[in-house]
Amino acid sequence: MNQLQQLLIVLGALALLPTVVKLLWKIYLFPLSAVITATRLIWPRWAACHLGACIGLYAASVLFFAAAWAIRYRLKRRREEEWLNKVLATTKPLYELTDE
């Protein structure tokens, strides 16, 4: 692989980086992917020496994902309940709509 091909690969990866980060943040996996990237690619020797800290970072990332998902799910359920209550409060009963 020549230098031009390597340069194009790096430029392509850098161009896609903001999109990937936004996607990972939107699905709440950015912290976990950042920890995995840091411990496996950037500082593997540090990760090997500090196993407890790495496990703590992994656990914190997973807890963040679970908490963020639970909050998002609960807020969605609350919006659905509010919408249903609003519809039920503002809609006329069916027997009032019929012409008998």
pLDDT beyond 70 at 2: yes
Instruction: Tell me the pLDDT band of 74, cut-offs 50, 70 and 90.
Output: very high
- For residue 97, tell me if it sits in a domain: no
What pLDDT, in 10s, does the model give residues 27-71? 888 888 888 888 888 899 998 999 999 899 889 988 998 998 999
Q: Looking at the 3D structure of the chain, how many domains does it have? A: 1
In a domain, 98, yes or no: no
**Which residue range forms the structural domain that includes residue 81?**
3-91
Residue 7, in any domain of the structure:
yes
Alpha carbon 51 to its chain's center = 25
Q: Does residue 72 sit within a domain?
A: yes
With bands split at pLDDT 50, 70 and 90, how would you rate the model's confidence at 83? very high
Q: Does pTM surpass 0.75?
A: no
Sign of CA dihedral 68, 71, 75, 77: positive
pLDDT of residue 88: 87
Whether the per-residue pLDDT at 100 is higher than 90: the answer is no
Q: Which residue has the tokens 């430029």?
A: 11
Higher-pLDDT residue of 18 and 27 is 18
Does residue 100 sit within a domain?
no
Give domain status of residue 96, yes or no: no
* Higher pLDDT pick, 41 / 80: 80
What is the rounded distance in angstroms from the CA atom of residue 100 to the CA atom of residue 91?
19
